């Protein structure tokens, strides 16, 4: 009889332990289901929004605090209103600099390489002038400066073709140039698909106007700028893209051509008219 009572007590104890364990399991399952329900009600974690492209209308000053030394420009006579010069490079010797021009550079990197080359696609056949150095230094701006005259108010145009470049594929017009560290430049870039107007002061450039649109490489395009007083108007393929006022450079200066970094760019039909 005593053994029977002990067996019954053991059965009761084991039953109670099993009941408690089942209740704990049910409680854990309920908590799990509740947690899942709460998680389902919470909004999904969102990835940070992609950073929008920077506004390219106004950029900060670029360039070294101490500019590279440049040679002083030889004086050129200021041209009177109506005087025009046209340079198509067709009578210049291929492989050499065109007559009445000299090369220079803003920024660092290796020496610029400007020369006359033949191009069967040239707007004025057979020759163009080309910048062919492929130095990839980013802050490097080869210049081809005209020595025949200086101009205050002017009309200036060029046809250009972006040929190649992995850092940049750009071509531009320089005007009111004092020396290779001080001038205005308007340029188009086929890698960035934009058109920008800068002033370069003591070797540091600052953008103060621009426009965004498709600029194709391998095709000829026309850049044109009209400058009267402090008003600068820039055209691309005959369409006005920029109109702005700026008084950084007020006096007469030389004109020329411009590229950037490793841009291989062809130019033809440089025309400048004093106003």
Q: What is the DSSP annotation of 121-184?
A: T-SSSSEEEEE------SSEEEEEEE-S-BBSSEEEEEEEEEEE-SS--EEEEEEEEEETTEEE
Whether 88 is covered by a domain: the verdict is yes
pLDDT at 36: 41
Tokens representing 53? 């492209």
> Do residue 116 and residue 200 come from a single domain?
yes
pLDDT tens, residue by residue, 217-273: 999 999 999 999 999 999 999 999 999 999 999 999 999 999 999 999 999 999 999
Confidence of residue 61 (pLDDT cuts 50, 70, 90): confident
Is residue 52 scored above 60 in pLDDT?
A: no
Mean pLDDT across the stretch 104-131?
Answer: 98
What would the pLDDT profile of 1-46 be if each residue is shown by its tens digit?
A: 454 454 444 444 444 444 434 444 444 444 444 344 333 443 333 3
Structural domain includes residue 79: no
| Domain carrying residue 262 | 84-274
**Do residues 180 and 253 both lie within one domain?**
yes
What is the pLDDT, as a whole number, of residue 13? 44
Judgement on whether residues 105 and 21 belong to the same structural domain of the protein: no
Task: Supply the CATH number for residue 135's domain.
Answer: 2.60.120.560
| Residue 66, CA distances (Å) to 21, 107, 204 in order | 80, 10, 9
Average pLDDT of the chain, as a whole number: 85
pTM above 0.75, yes or no: yes
Domains identified in the chain, total number: 2
Same domain, 132 and 260: yes
Note whether 108 and 238 are same-domain residues.
yes
pLDDT recorded at residue 246: 98
The set of long-range contacts for 92-96, using a CB threshold of 8 Å and a minimum separation of 24, is 92/116, 92/127, 92/129, 94/118, 94/127
pLDDT tens for 140-180 read 999 999 999 999 999 999 999 999 999 999 999 999 999 99
Give the confidence band of 125 by pLDDT, cuts at 50, 70, 90. Answer: very high
């Amino acid at each position: 009889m005593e053994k029977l009572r002990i067996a019954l007590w053991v059965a009761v104890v084991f039953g109670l332990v099993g009941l408690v364990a089942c209740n704990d399991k049910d409680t854990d399952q309920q908590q799990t289901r509740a947690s899942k329900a709460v998680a389902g009600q919470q909004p999904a974690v969102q990835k940070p929004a992609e950073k929008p492209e920077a506004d390219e209308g106004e950029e900060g000053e670029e360039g070294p605090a101490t500019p590279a030394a440049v040679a002083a420009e030889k004086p050129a006579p200021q041209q009177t209103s109506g005087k025009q010069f046209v340079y198509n490079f067709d009578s210049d010797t291929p492989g050499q600099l065109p007559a009445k021009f000299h090369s220079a550079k803003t920024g660092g990197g290796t020496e610029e390489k400007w020369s006359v080359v033949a191009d069967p696609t040239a707007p004025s056949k057979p020759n163009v002038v080309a910048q062919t150095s492929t130095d990839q230094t980013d802050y490097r701006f080869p210049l081809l400066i005209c020595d025949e005259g200086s101009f205050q108010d002017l009309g200036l145009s060029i046809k250009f073709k972006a040929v190649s470049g992995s850092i940049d594929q750009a071509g531009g017009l320089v005007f009111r140039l004092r020396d290779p560290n001080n001038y205005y430049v308007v340029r188009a870039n086929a890698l960035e698909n934009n058109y920008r107007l800068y002033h370069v002061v003591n070797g540091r450039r600052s953008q103060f106007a621009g426009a965004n649109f498709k600029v194709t490489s391998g095709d000829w395009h026309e850049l044109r700028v009209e400058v009267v007083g402090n008003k600068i108007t820039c055209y691309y393929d005959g369409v006005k893209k920029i109109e702005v006022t700026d008084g950084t450079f007020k006096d007469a200066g030389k004109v020329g051509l411009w590229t950037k970094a490793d841009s291989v760019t062809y130019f033809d039909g440089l025309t400048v008219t004093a106003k």
